[in-house]
Chain A
């Protein structure tokens, strides 16, 4: 982890940007999908009709941006360190659903989300180590 660039190239900043891009892309995809939703049309299972929404295109841009900054992060920070940190997005997304999407989240669903987050926090490090070797 030597010779780490500073400023915009700082890998910790890029890790944060990557997480924010994933978070924002998830919310934009949901908004976009809702805009064009055609649940009675079987073709819409393919999701292709989603391309009619500009929000979906913004989400695609953010997905690509998050991917590029993630690859950059991995040049400086090992996966077994960066991956567990990046899982903070698992806490941000449900909060975003509540705050920005106005989804009604029942107590049962919150309990399930909490169990998934705790489980992910437990396995993040060993999983990243396995993924490095796969």
Chain B
């Protein structure tokens, strides 16, 4: 695994999580304010662009690595959400979240060595 590959894996995951959260916000906004407004449209556009970036980076990575190698890295998205929740929601880390995140990290380290 080169540094470049790891960087692209990280970018594709961060853009995917960001897109999910932005689209979710847009859907929630549309439930009360409708879809015919620039706020909703611009959020959906940003979400779709981020999803597209994530998709193509994955397609580039899949040309170089096994799916069984790349797929477990998706577990990192859970860790991004945990960090984001800690920062934005001031959420405290439960024992369950900590142990789960450590297991995922350890698993990804093993996969990346394989």
Contacts and interface: CB of A to CB of B under 8 A. Distances in A.
Partners in one complex: yes
Interface of A: 26-27, 29-30, 32-34, 36-39, 44-50, 56, 60, 63, 71, 90, 93-94, 96-98, 101, 103, 105-106, 108-109, 111-123, 126-127, 130-131, 133-134
B68 A113 contact: yes
| Closest 5 pairs between A and B when the two form their complex, measured CB to CB | A47-B59, A115-B107, A112-B110, A119-B103, A123-B100
Interface string B84-107: 110011010010110111111111
Interface of B: 4, 8, 20-21, 24, 27, 55-64, 66-69, 71-72, 74-75, 78, 81-82, 84-85, 88-89, 91, 94, 96-97, 99-114
B55 A47 contact: yes
A37 B96 contact: no
B63 A36 contact: yes
